[in-house]
Each structure stands twice: as C-alpha cells, then as structure tokens.
Amino acid sequence: MILVVGRPGLDEQGGLAGTAGLIARTAAESGARVELVGSVGDDAEGDAVALALGRAGIGHAALLRDPAGTTPRRGGEGGRLPRLEAADLELGLSYLTECRVIVVAEPLEASAIAAAAEAASYHAAVLVVVTAPGSGAGTPGTGAGTPGTGADTRGTPAPEMPALPATATVLEPPLADDGPFAALVGRYAAQLDAGRQPADAWHEALTGTSWETIAE
C-alpha cells in the first residue's frame, strides 16, 4: 500500500488537484492501493475533496479537517493552508497499520518530514519526498538522475530537510505547478509498491512520457 502525505485540493471542475491529490490519483489508476494522509479545510471544498478521493478509490480515513484552514482550489481565492504538522502526521499515520511506500507530496516542516521518515523506517517502507521547486534539494523535475543507481538523488539538503534514510528519494518539481510531474511521481510510487527496485521503478515510470533521464 502507498501512503501519500499532503493537502489535496480541487481543480476548476471539482476534480482532485494539488500534488498530493494528483500523485494519489495516478498511483490508484496504476493499480496500487492508496491511502491519503493529510488535511483539508473544514469547508465545502473539503467535503468535495473527500468525495473525489472516494470516487477515485483512494482511502482517506486519515484525512484531518482544519477549521482554521482553507482547502486549496485552483483559480479560487487563496487562504491559509490547512495545518499539517508532525503531531497531525503521527495521529494520521497511527490509523494505518502497514505500507510499502510513503510519499511526502509537498514541502513540509522538517519535523513533519521526520515523522514520515520515522514511519517509513517502522514499516520498512520506501520513502519519497517532494521538495520545494528551485530548492536544489533533490533530483530536478526534468527527470535528471536515476534513483537507486548510486547517484545521490538527495542532492544538497535544504535548510528545512531533516536527515533521511540513505534509501530515500527526494524529487524537486518544476517551478510551475505541473500535473505531469505529479503523475510521474504517482507512477514511480506504484512501481515501488509493486516491488521493483528504485532504478527499475524510475525507468518504468518514465516509459511512454516526454520525460528523460540525464546521465550523470
């Protein structure tokens, strides 16, 4: 099973949006069992996200509601993002008893990423972390580098990046909001969940896309 950590949102048509939502949807469409661990606002959009997750076959028993936050909606007015701190993740992850892959789908505080890393270690799961665009903290969103080939896909840790397992993959998205990047990560997670080694999973995720691996 894949656990996707993040704050899903909605697109203009009311479908899943945001990196967390798109990664989870793509992984589910690839045949994986997926649970989303995260938060939405205690608003109508949050209700719509829960319904969209259910329609996509994505579990969301660990989806927290933050009354002080606003569920992201593409094209809508901005607001304070729903809270997603280490204590929230620890609570959400406590609902789930097993997993093979944990994907931190968006930049979070170091303590929250550390909580996800601890859960990955406990479950002996593969950890994938999506860092901030332009952070220089991971494999760029151009597809450069290949996880699992001996290259350091973690790059130079960003100031908010905690110590991660040597097996973790840190991916840096393009500067613009990019649905294809989220789909790539979702396919990669699904391949890892199927038992493939990181390098092979990365190769399979890239197959049939416009992404390419750049030799280092």
Q: How does pLDDT run across 74-96, given as a tens digit for each residue?
A: 866 678 899 999 999 998 888 88
3-state DSSP call for residue 9? strand
Instruction: For residue 37, give Cα distances in angstroms to 96, 105, 135.
Output: 9, 10, 24
Give the model's confidence band at 69: pLDDT under 50 very low, under 70 low, under 90 confident, else very high.
very high
Q: Does the structure show a pLDDT above 90 at 163?
A: no
Distance CA 22, CA 24 (A): 5
pLDDT for 201 equals 94
Domain ranges of the chain: 2-100+115-204
Fold topology of 2-100+115-204: UDP-N-acetylmuramoyl-L-alanine:D-glutamate ligase (3.40.1190)
Q: Sign of the C-alpha dihedral, residues 73, 15, 98, 66?
A: positive
Taking the model in full, what pTM does it have?
Answer: 0.88
Question: How high does pLDDT run on average in the chain?
Answer: 85
Distance CA 66, CA 98 (A): 25
